[in-house]
Amino acid sequence: DAKTTQPPSMDCAEGRAANLPCNHSTISGNEYVYWYRQIHSQGPQYIIHGLKNNETNEMASLIITEDRKSSTLILPHATLRDTAVYYCIVRVFHNNAGNMLTFGGGTRLMVKP
Amino acid sequence: ETGVTQTPRHLVMGMTNKKSLKCEQHLGHNAMYWYKQSAKKPLELMFVYSLEERVENNSVPSRFSPECPNSSHLFLHLHTLQPEDSALYLCASRRTGGRTEAFFGQGTRLTVV
């Protein structure tokens, strides 16, 4: 699976958009970009994923560059409850169970009042 | 609430004790996983089960012994642990055969004294 690079930490003001970048310059054509987040001492939570088109759901938007070498997760109106570590993961989806998520260090997002 | 339930949420055990962690899901998932998260470290995948058979064991010491009696339940049996085994142990499940996301439990915070 391709490696990702994320800033270790970011701050965001409450109510503003949080834009979390991820570099994945070695991504291959069949690898998806996944985002999870982990609120302190809880299990990771799925946010969104995409292949090449931009995606949006009730939690966030995912913008993937045309060359697919980087992406940005956007939380449109960050709240204090969005304070968490955000993980960007790229991987191929195989049928076999062994192809599971590999977590890096992520970005610690601190939303401030 | 993710649909993946772990018990207990907190556990303190001595180095000579035997204890078990339990994970349960009724999401119809056919793959289940144990992860370990030590302080200030990324999540590490420990064990993978698919259709109740272990398919991966990432060089985990034998003092950790997993068991998957059916597709809804996963156990991690602990015996003669060391203080450095103190960590957050997370269970996850997913359905293979598609681009389905993984669901994580809330974790068991284990302290070995």
Query: Cβ contact (<8 Å) for A42 and B107?
Result: yes
Residues of chain B in contact with residue A100, where contact means CB-CB under 8 angstroms, are 31, 33, 45, 48, 92, 94, 102
Non-local (6+) Cβ contacts of B108 within 8 A are B6, B7, B8, B9, B10, B11, B21, B88, B89
Q: State the average pLDDT over residues A25-41.
A: 91
What pLDDT digit, counting tens, does each position of A54-113 carry? 999 999 999 999 999 999 999 999 999 999 999 999 887 665 666 678 888 899 999 999
pLDDT score of A47 more than 90: yes
* Joined tokens for residue B66: 């997993």
Let me know if B101 is exposed, middle or buried by CB neighbors in 10 A (0-12, 13-18, 19+).
middle
Does any CB of chain A come closer than 8 Å to the CB of residue B27?
Answer: no
Query: Cβ contact (<8 Å) for A100 and B33?
Result: yes
Please list the pLDDT of chain B residue by residue as tens digits (113 residues): 789 999 999 999 999 999 999 999 989 998 999 999 998 788 999 999 887 777 777 789 999 999 999 989 999 999 999 999 999 999 999 988 766 789 999 999 999 99
* Joined tokens for residue B91: 């269970």
Task: Give the one of A96, A101, A104 whose C-beta lies nearest to B102's C-beta.
Answer: A101
Query: Cβ contact (<8 Å) for B104 and A43?
Result: yes
Q: How far, in Å, CA of A17 to CA of B97, rounded?
A: 35
Q: How many helices (H) and strands (E) does chain A have?
A: 0, 9
Q: How far, in Å, CA of B54 to CA of B52, rounded?
A: 7
Strands B10-13 and B108-112: parallel
Closest residue in A to B58 (Cα) is A98
Render the burial of B42-62: b for 16+ CB within 10 Å, e for the rest: ebbbbbbbbebeeebeeebee
Cβ pairs A/B, distance under 8 A: 64
Closest-CA distance, B101 to chain A, in angstroms, reads: 7
Does any CB of chain B come closer than 8 Å to the CB of residue A30?
Answer: no
